[in-house]
A and B are shown apart, each in its own frame.
Chain A
Amino acid sequence: MNPFAYSRASDPTQAVAEAVKPRAKFLGGGTNLIDLMKMGVETPANLIDINKLPLAQIEDRKSQGVRIGALVRNSDLAEHELIKSGYPVLSEALLSGASPQLRNMATVGGNLLQRTRCYYFYDPAFPQCNKRNPGSGCGAIEGYNRIHAILGQSDQCIAIHPSDMCIALAALDAVVRVQGSKGEREIPFADFHRLPGNTPNIETNLQQDELITAVDLPIIPFATRSHYLKVRDRASYAFALVSVAAILDLDQSKKVKAVRVALGGVAHKPWRASKAEESLVGKTADEKTFRAAAEAELAAAKGYKHNSFKIELAKRAIVRALTTVAAMA
């Protein structure tokens, strides 16, 4: 691990002021950052410990929804009554990720910033990675790419975003609140993470001097009818090959009034399945409709040597997740 200067921030303004130091990084739960520092992938010169900041509350804002402090631990969020009752898809997604120990450490803000598990990124022994070393090429495109992207990728990078929590937040239209040296701003969830394009090393639209302070959930009355389906190699403690966050509102005649679908394991960012949603609204909620929606979403998908199976897997996962939610009382 490279040497770094350690400091502990006592308030968000101080943390933001420290963030302009050379190669500065905020330290939250550390579950991803410290791991990457051990690997030599992350080499911060200044590490700003933000764990003492007062950002660990979950606030019921009534008609304005729920505000989740950036330092709320994944386990506390998953178990919170407001989340379990109002946003079960988020609770399910959180509990499907990592292990109890890691969930006790990992923060909401850190989860948004966790980095890809692409083998070529994670191990500096591989010379090629446009994230680690822009311009060096992508080892995965011609390499072993079983876990890689099928949607929205570029010829520079086919890595995927690894979070489960973020897939649920994408479906829930969450808003990320940040504080920077120029003040506070809100970033709609869809605009927070980026597709790789020609700059896969820039993964989010967060600026160097900005600190995530909270994530806001809007009121979505029908979010109680929701489900997170995670398909993976092991039944537990594994990253998703494909995952689906589905929220569905049906009318009396079983027609789709409103629907939200987001996909994990398929793209460089949490993938909101807008084409599937558009094809579903107003239709009868049955397997045929769900399959047509899945086909519409995956029409643009592109597979590689080892991951083409994800295209059909994603379609079936969409159908199964929607079928599960449609059957809920």
Chain B
Amino acid sequence: MNESDAPVDSGLEEFDELLILSNLETRRKFIKQVAGTSAAITIGPALLSAADATATSQIASPSKSNSDSISMTLKINGKDYTVDLDPRTTLLDALRERLHLTGSKKGCDHGQCGACTVLVNGRRINSCLTLAVMHEGDEITTIEGIANGDELHPMQTAFIEHDGFQCGYCTPGQICSAVALLKENHANSDDEIREFMSGNLCRCGAYPNILAAIKDAKTKST
């Protein structure tokens, strides 16, 4: 199946995007809306300059294709997506900004926090430190593709049962990482699980419950 990368225009999704300040177009719309109100007259300049700074740092992932873009097909969660991308676009930005698969999160954008963890050919990687164009022909699995239809993956169920999160921002990365961990056979003790999950940070500190969830999922999968 070939799916276009036409933007999904849902109000709720935009609200989600706005909260985490990651969608350039949404942010611009927000700034325009704010600038149009009288309250914005005083707070406008500060907001605008902050938005400009963010826009500059995000130049790697323009939302419109340009003459330097490369046409590529990415296989994500079993579906083929054909998309024109600037070669600078990271896999994470391609997923979030162009294909609207916003489950993978942008935390640090420098490979330090693990919020962007996805599976490529079954192996966990940081999608923020790899270019989308490097992954033509690869099987990419994001948190959106972990469940089997409406049936949650045992790791997802375990995270819910053990309350393995508070704010939930790191959770998609934690779950993708944990799914790969079980395949790697490095979940044989509490210490080993902690060491091999060290690439996924949780600022809420849900680590004890994440550990419990992974142990539970491992027990149920064997």
A interface with B by C-beta (< 8 Å)? 1, 3-6, 27, 29-31, 34-35, 38, 47, 49, 51, 75, 98-102, 104-105, 236-237
Contacts and interface: CB of A to CB of B under 8 A. Distances in A.
A231 to B, nearest CB: 16
B177 A35 contact: no
B195 interface: yes
7 contacts: A38-B110, A49-B134, A75-B123, A100-B186, A101-B199, A105-B126, A237-B198
Nearest to B57: A38
Given A30-B129, A99-B199, 6 more contacts: A4-B87, A6-B131, A38-B110, A101-B125, A101-B126, A237-B199
Most buried by B among A35, A49, A99, A105: A99
A-B pairs, 8 with minimum CB distance: A99-B199, A6-B87, A236-B198, A237-B198, A1-B60, A104-B123, A101-B199, A1-B88
Interface string B109-147: 111001001000001111001110110000000000000
Using C-beta atoms within 8 Å of the partner chain, give the interface range for chain B: 20 to 34
Contact of B60 (A38, A100, A236): A38
B150 interface: no
B59 interface: yes
Contact of B88 (A3, A35, A105): A3
Interface string B50-72: 00000000011000000010100
A27 B88 CA distance: 12
Contact of A30 (B130, B196, B200): B130
A23 B123 CA distance: 32
A190 to B, nearest CB: 30
Contact of A99 (B59, B88, B114, B123): B114
A237 to B, nearest CB: 4
Contacts of B88: 1, 3-4
A178 to B, nearest CB: 23
B177 A30 contact: no
A31 B112 CA distance: 10
Interface of B: 59-60, 68, 70, 87-88, 90, 109-111, 114, 117, 123-126, 129-131, 133-134, 177, 180-181, 184, 186, 194-196, 198-200
B134 A31 contact: no
A305 to B, nearest CB: 27
A164 to B, nearest CB: 14
A31 B111 contact: yes
A35 B129 contact: yes
A74 B110 CA distance: 18
Contacts of A30: 129-131, 134
Given A47-B87, A101-B117, A31 B129 contact: yes
Given A34-B129, A35-B129, A102-B111, A27 B196 contact: no
A74 to B, nearest CB: 12
A142 B124 CA distance: 41
A100 B177 contact: yes
B125 to A, nearest CB: 5
B124 A104 contact: yes
Contacts of B181: 100
A100 B134 contact: no
